[in-house]
Structure 1
């Protein structure tokens, strides 16, 4: 599965790049986050990151609101898989998205993901007798 800590991103960079690029980086982050969680959760039938972005654009953001709810569920599943305490923020993300505060949701989500990747990579290293 590789080094999971490499999936970490700076929360400030996600926010700043999303603002500076007028939302283009936000879509890149959305696709990347979706794909990382798909791989970690071994969800081979789920929607790809590129399709999430395309559907969000085509539906003028309506699918994006659904994505926020679903991505929180996927983070919760990943937290369970990693053996860490779960934190289901699906309703919070949905409310933030509805009122146009997706940027705040992205900061909270990236924080949760950074904690997940740290915990999962630490767990992987501790369970691997060949890890250095």
Structure 2
């Protein structure tokens, strides 16, 4: 005898048994039409249609857990997009250029702020004059790194002061060029520029490093809050 309640596959319908999701089938209420493919209602033909998992779909991880759900569950504000804006380093002074950096000028690396009296007298005495040559090398290198438009070879400048005295002229040329490079860097920073003639004369009487280090410190002070080796904008 054929079971009238059998499905098209010959198996009796389940009444009150768990379905594939682990939930008991729901009985149709009076006046409610059964819809195939829903939980609690068998499909009329073929395999039952499966609903997509509530959190499946685009933007989910392999296990069906949505990536956005994890991201939104993290505490704190949303991260900012892009890079932070260039800090405002203020104005260079009453005689300087406007405070806005010039994009066409690019950027440079900030040099070291030094004690002028230590550069001029203290450290050279302690090191028996060696620090003076170290200062010449580092100062020329920092000026070239601050403004790439300044053409300088620190090693050649050092050799001019070390052994250039053999032919007399190179040390004077190197001293003059150090003053002009300092002025060029101050121009790029938009600060009042030094006088290279005065710097050269002071080199001749032995106080050139003291004067130029004061001028360099004024250049580095153009960027309050920045530290040595930090990239800073140019203004001209």
TM-score (norm 1): 0.76
Question: Where does the alignment leave 5 or more consecutive residues of structure 2 unmatched?
Answer: 1-107, 227-231
Structure 1 distance, partners of 2:136, 2:156, is: 11
- How far does residue 33 in structure 1 lie from its aligned partner after superposition? 0.2
Does 2:139 match 1:36? no
Residue 126 of structure 2 is aligned with which of 20, 23, 33?
A: 20
Residue 96 of structure 1 is aligned with which of 192, 199, 202?
A: 202
Does 2:221 match 1:118? yes
**Residues 8 and 30 from structure 1, CA distance in 2 versus in 1: closer, same or farther, beyond 3 angstroms?**
same
- How far does residue 108 in structure 1 lie from its aligned partner after superposition? 0.7
Larger Rg: 2
Higher helix share: 1
Q: Conserved in 2, the CA contact under 8 Å of 1:56 and 1:62?
A: no
* Residue 71 (structure 1) aligns with: 178
Structure 1 distance, partners of 2:210, 2:197, is: 15
Question: Where does the alignment leave 5 or more consecutive residues of structure 1 unmatched?
Answer: none
- How far does residue 77 in structure 1 lie from its aligned partner after superposition? 0.9
DSSP-derived class of the 1:114 partner: helix
Relative contact order, higher structure (CA 8 A, sep 6+): 1
Shift >4 Å, 4+ stretches = none
1:25-65 deviations in Å (ceiling 9; x for gaps):
00000000000001112047x33222211232222164222
* Residue 152 (structure 2) aligns with: 47
